[in-house]
Amino acid sequence: MHPGSFRDATAEAVAFEVPGLPPQKTETLSILSAGHRQAERVRALLVAALAAAQGSGWTRIRSSIALEIVVRGPAAHVGSAPRFLAGVADVLSDKRGRLTGTHLGVLADVALFADERQIRAISYREEPAETPSYQVRVVSLGV
């Protein structure tokens, strides 16, 4: 995914699985900061998003989107839906101007959409599973 590229009509949706739990946005300190306690979750999400985007032809878009997240884990309630949604949205949007340092390397350029304000529909659900994981799906709404 080229840092300045935006989506053409080649892919209408991109979906992928990520091991572990999603990053949670829980404080004013950016989860994109070097050394943040969510750093491993952020990196896992970016690696999975990059692979899915490259495999599907998805590039960063500017139109409205739907964000769908399915979180799986052994507990009846694995975390806070609003915090997971905010964390995933923050990580998958364009990070230019929000990063300090180079700790993310090439992953700093990974973005499935330009801005969180593009999100027009949200779906979140939790499912029981022995091992924590989650699925993310971003759908272009074309408007």
For residue 131, give the CATH number of its domain: 3.30.1330.70
Q: What is the pLDDT of residue 1?
A: 39
Helices (H) and strands (E) in the chain, counts: 2, 4
Residue 79 lies in a domain: yes
Which parts of the chain sit beneath pLDDT 50?
Answer: 1-10
Residue 25 lies in a domain: yes
pTM, rounded to two decimals: 0.84
User: Can you give the residue range of the structural domain that contains 123?
Assistant: 13-140
Residue 134 lies in a domain: yes
Q: What is the pLDDT of residue 37?
A: 80
Residue 4 lies in a domain: no
Q: What is the pLDDT of residue 140?
A: 95
Q: What is the pLDDT of residue 77?
A: 67
Q: Are 87 and 24 in contact (CB under 8 A)?
A: yes
Residue 22 lies in a domain: yes
Under DSSP, is residue 48 helix (H, G, I), strand (E, B) or coil?
helix
Instruction: State the helix-helix crossing angle for 39-56 and 81-92, rounded to 10 degrees.
Output: 60
Counting the structural domains of the chain, the total is 1
Q: What is the pLDDT of residue 99?
A: 59
Residue 1 lies in a domain: no
Q: What is the pLDDT of residue 95?
A: 76
Q: Which residues on adjacent β-strands are paired with residue 15?
A: 137
Residue 49 lies in a domain: yes
Q: What is the pLDDT of residue 98?
A: 60
Residue 8 lies in a domain: no
